[in-house]
């Protein structure tokens, strides 16, 4: 007897390994996603680049999506696998709405569902090649978590994927605080995205910032950051390095 409830979302999940080709290696990928809590809700930032190997092939890939009434999802990694995850979530939200009982899935429930999906696929040796950031607000409670492609997951006040784990989170640990205003939180995210733009070859200067509060979800229009490329380290990056060309 199956221990997994028979829902449309789960049925498609359990059969997906037979219907689709395995992702043996990612082809078109997106880079870092950063998420933080602020005074009124959750903010996320991601650029819009889609890299085909080391080639920046696509420059208008949206990687921030609203999920149901209370959740916001950001993804790095394989874009086609992210689209598959969105199909799973569409079925999950539809199934939840069909009950018409006045309740709706909150961000914690959606995050738990994603951890099971990612771990399930990992155990089939057919992983969804993504790292996901899931945030939201329900009943006044802010929630922010992430899950990796093998099902590793946690909650925190700020999270990041990809290079953001190494380059952005040290900045967030130093400068983030719980009662940040919307304006200060956006400035902090932009600072992190600017550092990633300087240091991550897959990042592009075209990003979106998404906001979710108790009342609404808003995803900004794409925009660019002001940058300065005249630093001496950029002019002569191998100066003083042993064995440099």
Please list, in sequence order, all residues whose beta carbon lies within 8 angstroms of the beta carbon of residue 165, skipping any fewer than 6 positions away. 32
> Domain for residue 239, yes or no?
no
Identify the pLDDT of residue 21: 67
Give the integer Cα–Cα distance in Å for 174 and 27. Answer: 35
Q: What residues contact residue 53 under an 8 Å CB cut-off, 6+ apart? A: 27
Answer for the pair 95, 113: CB distance below 8 angstroms, yes or no: no
Please tell me whether residue 155 adopts helix, strand or coil conformation: strand
pTM comes to 0.86
Cβ–Cβ under 8 Å, residues 201 and 54: yes
When pLDDT is cut at 50, 70 and 90, the band that residue 129 belongs to is: very high
CATH code, domain carrying 68: 3.60.20.10
* Domain annotation covers residue 2: no
- Domain membership of residue 230 (yes or no) is no
How far apart are alpha carbons 49 and 57 in whole angstroms? Answer: 8
* 66 token code pair: 């609203």
**Whole domain around residue 68: which residue ranges?**
34-178+188-225
Confirm whether 238 is a catalytic residue.
Answer: no
Place of tokens 């979710």: 212
Asked if residue 17 belongs to a domain, the reply is no
Report how many domains make up the chain: 1
Rounded to whole angstroms, the Cα distance separating 86 from 95 reads 14
- Cα–Cα distance measured from residue 200 to residue 191, given in angstroms and rounded to the nearest whole number: 14
User: For the purposes of burial, counting CB atoms within 10 Å of the CB of 140, is it exposed (0-12), middle (13-18) or buried (19 or more)?
Assistant: exposed
Q: How confident is the model at residue 242 (pLDDT cuts 50, 70, 90)?
A: confident
Residue 143 within a domain: yes
Mean pLDDT taken over the chain: 90
Q: Report the pLDDT value the prediction gives residue 234, as an integer from 0 to 100.
A: 83
9 within domain boundaries: no
Check residue 231 and give its pLDDT. Answer: 86
Per residue in 31-84, pLDDT (tens digit) is 999 999 999 999 999 999 999 999 999 999 999 999 999 999 999 999 999 999
Among the listed residues 23, 29, 31, 115, the single catalytic one is: 23
Classify residue 19: in a domain, yes or no: no
Q: Which residue has the tokens 């979530």?
A: 89
Report how far residue 54's alpha carbon sits from residue 60's, in angstroms, rounded to the nearest whole number. Answer: 17
Flag whether 151 is in a domain. yes
């Amino acid at each position: 007897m199956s221990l997994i409830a028979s829902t449309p979302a789960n049925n498609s999940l359990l059969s997906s390994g037979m219907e689709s080709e395995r992702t043996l290696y990612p082809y078109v990928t997106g880079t870092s996603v950063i998420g933080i809590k602020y005074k009124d809700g959750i903010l996320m930032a991601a650029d819009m680049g889609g890299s085909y190997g080391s080639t920046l092939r696509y420059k208008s890939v949206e990687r921030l999506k609203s999920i149901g009434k209370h959740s916001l999802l950001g993804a790095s990694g394989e874009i086609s696998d992210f689209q598959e995850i969105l199909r799973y979530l569409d079925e999950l939200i539809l199934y939840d709405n069909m009950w018409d009982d006045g309740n709706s899935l909150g961000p914690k429930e959606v995050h738990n569902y994603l951890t099971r999906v990612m771990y399930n696929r990992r155990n089939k040796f057919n992983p969804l090649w993504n790292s996901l950031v899931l945030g939201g607000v329900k009943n006044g409670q802010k929630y922010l978590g992430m899950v990796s492609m093998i099902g590793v997951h946690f909650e925190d006040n700020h999270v990041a994927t990809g290079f953001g784990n190494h380059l952005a989170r040290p900045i967030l640990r130093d400068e983030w605080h719980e009662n940040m205003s919307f304006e200060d939180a956006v400035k902090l995210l932009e600072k992190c995205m600017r550092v990633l733009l300087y240091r991550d070859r897959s990042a592009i200067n075209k990003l979106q910032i998404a906001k979710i509060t108790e009342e609404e979800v808003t995803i900004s229009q794409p925009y660019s950051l002001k940058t300065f490329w005249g630093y001496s380290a950029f002019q002569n990056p191998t100066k003083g390095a042993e064995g440099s060309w």
